[in-house]
Amino acid sequence: MSTGKPKPVVALYGLTCCAGCQLEILNLEDDLLDILGHINLVQFRMGSSATHPGPYDVCFVEGSVTNEAELTRLKELRENSKILVAMGACATTGGVNAIRNGRNIEEFKQSVYGDASHVNTFPQILPLKSHVKIDYELQGCPISGQEFVEFLTALLTGAEPREKNYAVCVECRMKENVCLMKEGELCLGPITRAGCGALCPSLGFPCEGCWGPVPQANVESEIDMFSQKGASFDLVVRKFRMFNASAEEFMKQLKRRLNIEWL
C-alpha cells in the first residue's frame, strides 16, 4: 500500500576504480528488489543506462579522484546531494589506486603505457574526504553487500548507521577461528576495521587490510610482530600499502618505525 510519501532519490556513481563495489550491490539480487521498493534508484550504471541530473537525497560514490575532471564531478555531486557516502576502499582510503603515492608516477606510466604523454593522472591519491565533506563511509574492497543493506535500512528508518569501531580480530574470534598468526602468517586483522565478518581468515588467508585502519590502530606493535616472524622490510611495506597507502594512521607509524623517507 502506498503511503503517498515520495521515495528518497538515490544515486550510485563511480570514479576511477574497478566498479567491484557496484557489482557487489548488483549481486544482492532479491535484497536489491526489496530495496527498490523503498527508494527511487535513479543512477546505477551496473543495472541501468538511465541517468539523472539530481538533486539526490543519498549519493554513493565509489572510486578515487585521479584527475581534475573527476574532482569537478565529485564537487558537483557534493553540491547536489543531501547525504554523500564514500563507498569502498578506493573512496575511503585511496585503496589500490594509492599504491602510486610517494613513488615515481612517471616511471609507472611509462612501464604500463610506453609513451604516456596522453595520460593525465594525479601523482597522489587521497580519500574522498580529503576533497569534499563526506557524511558516511562504507569500507572494503569490495564493500559488503550486507553492510550496504544495513546502512540503507538505517537511513530509511531514520536511525544512525552503526560504525564498527573494532578490529577484524573480534569477528575472527567470534567465529572461533584458529589464529593464523600462531601458524606464522602475517595478518593485518588486529589493526583493520571490522565489517567483513573476518572473511579471509575464515577461509584460511591472512587479512590484507582492505577495510582500512581501525581507530587507534597500534601499527608499531603489528610491525614488531611481523619482524619477529621474519618478515622482510619490503614485505612489511608492501602489506601495509596494498590498500592503505594514503591512510595517514598507517603511514605515519610505518614511516616512523621503519625510518622510510619517501612515505
The least CB distance from residue 59 to ligand SF4, in Å, is 16
Q: Compare residues 40 and 220 and give the one whose CB is closer to ligand SF4.
A: 220
What is the spatial distance between Cα 205 and Cα 193, in angstroms, rounded to a whole number?
A: 17
How are the residues of the chain apportioned to helix, strand and coil, as percentages rounded to the nearest 5?
A: 45, 15, 45
What is the spatial distance between Cα 190 and Cα 157, in angstroms, rounded to a whole number?
A: 33
Residue whose C-alpha is closest to residue 73's, from 148, 138, 16, 146: 16
The least CB distance from residue 105 to ligand SF4, in Å, is 18
The least CB distance from residue 261 to ligand SF4, in Å, is 28
Q: How many helices (H) and strands (E) does the chain have?
A: 11, 5
The least CB distance from residue 171 to ligand SF4, in Å, is 8
C-alpha dist (Å) from residue 139 to 20, 30, 35, 167, 213: 13, 23, 20, 13, 10
Q: Compare residues 102 and 201 and give the one whose CB is closer to ligand SF4.
A: 201
What is the C-alpha radius of gyration for the chain, rounded to an integer number of angstroms?
Answer: 20
Q: Is the peptide bond before 8 cis (omega within 30 degrees of 0)?
A: no
The least CB distance from residue 21 to ligand SF4, in Å, is 4
**Is residue 64 classed as helix, strand or coil in its secondary structure?**
strand
Q: Compare residues 53 and 166 and give the one whose CB is closer to ligand SF4.
A: 166
Q: Compare residues 90 and 251 and give the one whose CB is closer to ligand SF4.
A: 90
Q: Which residue is nearest to ligand SF4 (CB)?
A: 189
The least CB distance from residue 7 to ligand SF4, in Å, is 26
**Is residue 76 classed as helix, strand or coil in its secondary structure?**
helix
Q: Compare residues 77 and 169 and give the one whose CB is closer to ligand SF4.
A: 169
Q: Which residues bind ligand SF4 (CB under 6 A)?
A: 17-21, 62-63, 88-90, 95-96, 141-142, 168-169, 172-173, 177, 179-181, 187, 189-190, 192, 196, 198-201, 207-211
Q: Compare residues 46 and 71 and give the one whose CB is closer to ligand SF4.
A: 46
The least CB distance from residue 232 to ligand SF4, in Å, is 20
Burial, 107: exposed, middle or buried (Cβ in 10 Å; 0-12, 13-18, 19+)?
Answer: exposed
Q: Compare residues 23 and 159 and give the one whose CB is closer to ligand SF4.
A: 23
